[in-house]
Structure 1
């Protein structure tokens, strides 16, 4: 007797939370590929990025969002918040992510944005539980948060260590609607290779510079040319002040060279061919608080 085929499921899963709780790390580890850039610096993710996980009978389209934050009034921060908050509507599952036993005013703000009468199931994901010295504190914490909002389920995980991710994936599958796949099974993201390359370069900048240069750094790919043997990419790193440019270039160009080497290796892994990467630094004063400049960099494109 032949088995009947499993029903196909497909849906959009939004991952929201305050900055630096591990949203991008979670999505990358669920998919098994690096789709969203990561660092230990808050607000590394700036755009709403879709990562695609395809199995035999289901496809999850994750919306990795910028961390929702308060108290910053630059146009860039407003655009990041709008990208994150917009992910709360028109999705099939919402995942609110928190950092172990920590609960901050920023977490409270995210909780206040969740729909009071949710049409889609809302899961609470408690990340970094591997860092807890006393695991007995977890159950009272889960109970306290469950009393504050009607979460459909609470799933403790360690995104970085890949602990309990199979259980989380199963919890998500059970809540996906029936339907055909939206994307080809080998597609990992809805973003272009140019976008991904720019994000890789920005990741290396953020990781290299620490707190020396604030987050008013962006990357614009100005040339992408596929030749017979390699791909030539030219990209501009935008900063707002001359002092930032000097820090980014480094002594005799050492820092920008190191950023370029690291980025080139990751881009070659992404596109699976040799890359010649040319980087330079441009000063564009006030770009992070200029709505027109942000539009040109793709910060408010319709999703």
Structure 2
């Protein structure tokens, strides 16, 4: 029997954002729901530096996920601007999903974030107990109770509270279902097959930064920024053997940091380049020639001129 208009569910489309303090699992969850890597991930806090949109295509909906930087107490002009990105995003989405990692106690950072989110009064909010694979049932029960108490203390009535693990896929589909329920009826906003609206140069720069973040000292990650000087197909190559040339700069804040990134006789920088190139080739589907240079932009996190140059 054919479906009648009354029996056919309305197609929904809209925006949801994942928010949380730094390293709460937002980016990993975004990648899991989209089905491929569009956001870099790292164990270093404040890895995400701008709002990245990932597009989830479903028969009943198009869900645009906005992964935001972690909300934190800023110590630099960069930190202030990252927090502004988060709060601007909150005001523009249809649903807010707050990530509260199960393997950590709810602390002042979480309370600050949830208190701020409560000010966006009309937007529905979902609580996600992320990293559920890292805890047992007793700790999870305790964590869910803490989430309920936290919401009640600031006047948030959670639309849903969901334990989830992006690492093993536990309840990621349920998260998508709950987010879709909060979207308005509407046509798709992006062409079928698109997974992000980020320019390729931005994604490439982020993959280089991700490679540079691995294995560096705790104080260095915040000082790393990447720009792409030039990117394009090399001319005079056969059509069946394309090669993309990428010339990029890794910016640091102090001369003393250069040795850490470059390493002994350039070994560390070669490792960064090799790791980044593998990821970029997977993203572009094309062999890549990657040329990296390390430069200094003194104290760029606190310098408005440098921040503009670096895209913040």
Report the TM-score range of the alignment, normalised by the length of the smaller protein.
Answer: over 0.9
Question: Does 1:112 find its partner at 2:115?
Answer: yes
Cα distance in 2 for partners of 1:30, 1:80 equals 23
Answer whether contact 1:208 1:259 (CA < 8 A) is retained.
no
d(CA) in 2 for partners of 1:79, 1:39? 21
Distance 1:214 1:273, change over 3 A: closer
In the TM superposition, residue 92 of structure 1 has moved relative to its aligned partner by 0.5
8 Å Cα contact 1:130/1:158 also seen in 2: yes
For residue 252 of structure 1, the aligned residue among 249, 257, 265 is 265
SS where residue 269 of structure 1 aligns? helix
**CA deviation vs aligned residue, 1:13-58 (integer Å, no higher than 9, x gap):** 0111111110001100011111110001110111111111111221
Within 5 A, what are the aligned runs for 1:272-287? Answer: 272-287=285-300
8 Å Cα contact 1:212-1:247 kept in structure 2: no
Give distance in 2, aligned partners of 1:247 and 1:139.
42
Task: Name the counterpart of 1:193.
Answer: 200
Q: Within 5 Å, give how 1:15-54 maps onto structure 2.
A: 15-54=18-57
CA RMSD of aligned residues (A): 1.5
**Which residue in 2 is equivalent to 1:222?**
229
SS at match of 1:120: coil
Shift of 1:185: 1.5
Moved more, 154-163 or 108-117: 108-117
Query: Equivalent residue for 2:90?
Result: 88
The reply to whether residue 291 of structure 1 matches residue 304 of structure 2 is: yes
Distance 1:117 1:63, change over 3 A: closer
TM-score, normalised with respect to structure 2: 0.91
Unaligned runs of 5+ in 2: none
Match of 2:276 in 1: 263
Aligned equivalent of 1:62: 65
2:162 is the counterpart of 1:159: no
- Tell me which residue corresponds to 1:99: 101
Give the secondary-structure state (helix, strand or coil) at the position aligned to 1:208: coil
Report the number of matched residues.
298
Q: Output the CA distance in 2 between the equivalents of 1:198 and 1:243.
A: 23
Deviations 1:226-252 (A, max 9, x none): 123200000000011111011110001
CA contact (8 A) 1:58 1:173 kept: yes
- 8 Å CA contact 2:90–2:120 kept in 1: the answer is no
CA apart distance, 1:138: 4.0
Secondary structure of 1:183's counterpart equals coil
Aligned to 1:2: 2
Shift of residue 207 of structure 1? Answer: 1.2
